[in-house]
Amino acid sequence: MSLNDASQTRFEEGHSASSDRFTRGRLRLRTLVLIRWIAVAGQTVTVLLVHFGLGFTLPLTACLAVIAASVLSNILLYVRMPMHARLGDRDSMLLLGFDILQLSVLLYLTGGLENPFAILIVAPVTVSATILSRGPTIVLMMLAVTSITGLALYHAPLPWGPDEFQLPGAYALGVWTALAVASVFIATYVWSVADEARRMSDALAETRLRLGREQSLTALGGLAAAAAHELGSPLATIAVVAKELSRDIPPDSEIAEDVALLMSQSDRCRDILAGLDQRHIAGHQAFARAPLSILLERAGNPYHSDGVVQVVVIETEDEDDYSHAEPTADDTPELAYGLGNLIQNAVQFARSRVELRLHWNDETVRVTVSDDGPGFSSAVFASLGEPYMSTRGGEHMGLGFFIAQTLLERGGATLEFRNRNGAEVVIHWSRERFEAAMEHRNIGDMPMDR
């Protein structure tokens, strides 16, 4: 390898590594650079207008030098990084921290907190709270409060005119308090709201991904059954022809072994296709309409565990309830997956028994999933159904209840969590809405936003 080739390789590796740092995160570099150009333009126009238009004497050279530092940083970003890249938390924090310091120096030169534009020091903190995680936001919030404190104590005088005007100390303290409290409050409030939105968005994306996988598996099972059915006829024809050839060809013929091999391989193909078809029949058949008690059993079948017994109990208020037809539904992946998640959780925490109780009448349909385990802990009870809530840690993402509740509520259900000799989840539908929602429901048509 030549020296030029080695240099080019090192450059490409360095550029790739640098680019990787900027491909993670939520903040697009182009967006941040555009905001910074707007800030540069606003600072430049304001300084020139105050100095030349209003006649206030400002340290013009120093102010323009501070603004030029932002211009230079933007140019360096254009040269070094692709504008479509996404910044990670660390790099976003460094750039926003630079903006806080740049604005602080500019405010120092133009009156400190007496300058009406001091409120703009809160802007980078707000951007961080909206986009970045908690750590960088706290760092930027502390930097902003430190800068505000420094500007309250040390700053060049604001050039009011020939007669210098001094604001009372109590007013300066009030401005400092307002800006410091605003920085902390806005950062905390905006970050909390944005974090809740991010959690919900991530959880819904995970739900969409899992539903897509379930749909793909269902389609694959249907394709296997269709292939087994369609290939059955030509394979049977091959087997018949092979048998006729075996009868017509003498045993000592040169091709007798080939014909025997052809017959054995056709039998093997038939066995393979039969196995595919039987596995599809025995497995989950999406959209097959069945009584709800059967669907409840199917949903619990994948989650059997040694030492834990699953029992399906049909509850009735009196004998006349049996005269009402049992509700039926399409065995859709969202119904199977929603019920399956609740059953799986009950099996994992049960000591020896999980009960799946079903009740219906002309007005309501109710399914109760209960176990004889320790029940829901008080720490997570109030947050059940929210994304990323788990008492188990490790590889568990805490999405089970959220996904189950999301899927079942889209079918018209309401969920109730309670402790009663163990954990208990009660799913309610109105009968009319249940049968309307579950009839001929296709997962591909299910809306992903409420």
Among candidates 125, 106, 123, 179, which has minimal Cα distance to 148? Answer: 179
pLDDT score, position 72 = 93
| Count of helices and strands (H, E) across the chain | 13, 9
Q: How far apart are CA 249 and CA 237, in angstroms?
A: 18
Tell whether the model's pLDDT for residue 258 goes beyond 50: yes
Tell whether the model's pLDDT for residue 338 goes beyond 70: yes
Among candidates 12, 22, 15, 13, which has minimal Cα distance to 85? Answer: 22
Confidence band (pLDDT; 50, 70, 90) for 422? confident
Beta bridge mates, 367: 358, 427
Tell whether the model's pLDDT for residue 382 goes beyond 90: no
Question: What integer is the mean pLDDT of 192-212?
Answer: 75
Confidence band (pLDDT; 50, 70, 90) for 68? very high
Q: How far apart are CA 215 and CA 334, in angstroms?
A: 10
Confidence band (pLDDT; 50, 70, 90) for 199? confident
Least confident window among 55-64, 220-229, 254-263: 220-229
Q: How far apart are CA 285 and CA 444, in angstroms?
A: 16
H runs (alpha helix) in 350-389: 378-381
HSE (side-chain half, CA atoms, 13 Å) at 250: 3
Tell whether the model's pLDDT for residue 9 goes beyond 50: no
Beta bridge mates, 291: 328
Among candidates 106, 31, 122, which has minimal Cα distance to 66? Answer: 106
* 119 membership: H or E segment, kind and range: none
Confidence band (pLDDT; 50, 70, 90) for 434? confident
Reduce the DSSP state of residue 308 to 3 states and report it.
Answer: strand
Q: Which of the two residues, 284 and 212, has the higher pLDDT score?
A: 212
Q: How far apart are CA 107 and CA 66, in angstroms?
A: 10
Question: What integer is the mean pLDDT of 425-436?
Answer: 82
Tell whether the model's pLDDT for residue 11 goes beyond 70: no
Q: Do the beta carbons of residue 18 and residue 81 sit within 8 Å?
A: yes
Tell whether the model's pLDDT for residue 223 goes beyond 70: no
Edge-to-edge strands, sheet with 309-314: 309-314, 353-360, 364-371, 423-430, 414-419
Pick the most confident of 260-274, 276-290, 319-333, 407-421.
407-421
Mean pLDDT, the chain, rounded, equals 76
Q: Which of the two residues, 353 and 7, has the higher pLDDT score?
A: 353
Least confident window among 49-53, 121-125, 303-307: 303-307
- List strand residue ranges (DSSP E) for 128-265, in order: none
Tell whether the model's pLDDT for residue 65 goes beyond 90: yes
Q: Which of the two residues, 245 and 71, has the higher pLDDT score?
A: 71
pLDDT score, position 252 = 80
Whole-number percent of the chain with pLDDT over 70? 74
Q: Are strands 328-330 and 289-291 parallel, antiparallel or unpaired?
A: antiparallel
